[in-house]
Amino acid sequence: MNVLCINTAFQTANLAVSSEEGEELVTLTAKHSETTLPSIEKMLENLKLAPKDLDCICINIGPGSFTGIRVGLALVRGFSAANSKLKFVKVNSMELMAKQYGKGTFATVLNALSGRFYVAEYIDAKMLKEPYLKAEIKAKNTVGLIQENLDFVKHKVEVETRTFLDLCLEKVKNGEFVSPSELEPMYLRKSQAEENLQGLRVEKLTQRYLNDVYEISKQEFEDGWTYKMFEDELLEPNRFSYCVTENGRVLSFINVLECEGENGREYNILNIASKVKNSGYATKLIEEVLARAKREGIVNVWLEVDAKNERAIKLYTKLGFKQIATRKKYYKNGNDALILRKEV
């Protein structure tokens, strides 16, 4: 079996290919997000393999670097798109460190920042409980990829590529294959955007929030809605609106129209804006709309976006929206509008 193994969750990346022709192992240290794919291509070339020849990919899903994990999973998606027969195996950082460390009673530790740590407890490399977050660590035999100057760290573990490959091959031999949908990143610490949403509420937009909504709209759009338009929106039976609030103030809002399409009922997102950029609020609202669409039997959700609004287009694409049409010079500034749609 031809197996590709990818670990980009740490500062040092581990890459390996195992085949009947032999093995290739590579350890990357600097800027591995840029060199991972070329390194994989070179390893395959050395073994006279093409991506279509791969039978299985083993990926470390974390925890670890947010960016590194996403890079690894993106590579997996790219290879799987070109090879429908691929099987998948996943490992996590904690079991990988436990494999590297060896036997005995110990805990693996990863720095989660903000004074917190990922912890997993083991006996002879067998996990006692699922990894958890802890603010204070007093374990006597603690191993981990954290700052060397922390005095409770008795051993600093650097995962070797050989160890990573061995763990992957063990899982392949044991038939521990998973579906592509199970290859989700393991983020024990929430992203900053998700943490920003802690304590916030998503609720129905009502009259008392209109002043805040209007001010956010003026900030976001040159030719946005008037206050009266927002007010009338609340009275329309085929429309609904949500907002993210904190302490009674609106941080983000979304307006949606329900309409009839060619294949059934659709949602058209008319307006969406946030007081703070890159906050995660817009994502939260769109996910709320998509969840409602699924409950209500809506066939798809669509919207218009300025063709030059790269930030918004990136967000919608990440959420699964795809371009289906373009409206030339649609906006007052002369910019085109892209029509994006997501099937529910």
Quote the mean pLDDT of the chain. Answer: 86
Instruction: Give the pLDDT confidence score for residue 81 in this predicted structure.
Output: 86
38 preceded by a cis bond (ω within 30 of 0) = no
**282-309 burial: b if 16+ Cβ within 10 Å, else e:** bbbbbebbbebbeeeebebbbbbbbbee
Q: pLDDT tens, 264-287? A: 999 999 999 998 877 788 998 999
Looking at the chain, the domain(s) classified CATH 3.40.630.30 span 195-343
* Residue 209 scores a pLDDT above 90: yes
Range list for CATH 3.30.420.40 in the chain: 3-91+159-186
| Burial class of 222 by CB neighbour count within 10 A (0 to 12, 13 to 18, 19+) | exposed
What mean pLDDT is predicted for residues 158-176? 95
CA distance 125 to 104: 8
Mean of pLDDT values over 251-258? 95
Q: Where does 3-91+159-186 sit in CATH, by number?
A: 3.30.420.40
pLDDT at 225 over 80: yes
Distance from C-alpha of 22 to C-alpha of 59, rounded to nearest angstrom = 20
The arithmetic mean of pLDDT across residues 283-301, rounded, is 92
Architecture field, domain 95-156:
2-Layer Sandwich (3.30)
pLDDT tens sequence across 97-153: 889 887 777 778 877 665 667 778 888 778 887 777 665 555 444 455 433 333 345
Kindly report, residue by residue over 63-97, the tens digit of the pLDDT. Answer: 888 788 888 999 999 999 888 899 999 999 988 98
Q: H/E/C letters for each residue in 188-235?
A: CCCCHHHHHCCCCEEEECCHHHHHHHHHHHHHHCCCCCCHHHHHHHCC
Q: Give the DSSP H or E segment for 137.
A: none
Percent of the chain scoring above 90 in pLDDT: 53
What pLDDT does 150 receive? 37
- Give the up-direction half-sphere exposure of residue 48: CA atoms within 13 A in the CB hemisphere: 3
Secondary structure element (H or E) that encloses residue 46, with its range: helix 32-46
Contacts of 40 (CB under 8 A, 6+ apart): 4, 6, 15, 17, 75
Between 77-86, 96-105, 230-239, 309-318, the lowest mean confidence (pLDDT) is in 96-105
Average pLDDT over residues 149-158: 56
Beta pairing partners, 3:
18, 56
Question: What local confidence, expressed as pLDDT, does residue 62 receive?
Answer: 87
3-class secondary-structure state, position 141:
coil
CB 121 within 8 A of CB 140: no
Residue 214, pLDDT above cutoff 90 = yes
CATH class of 195-343: alpha beta
Whole-model pTM?
0.55
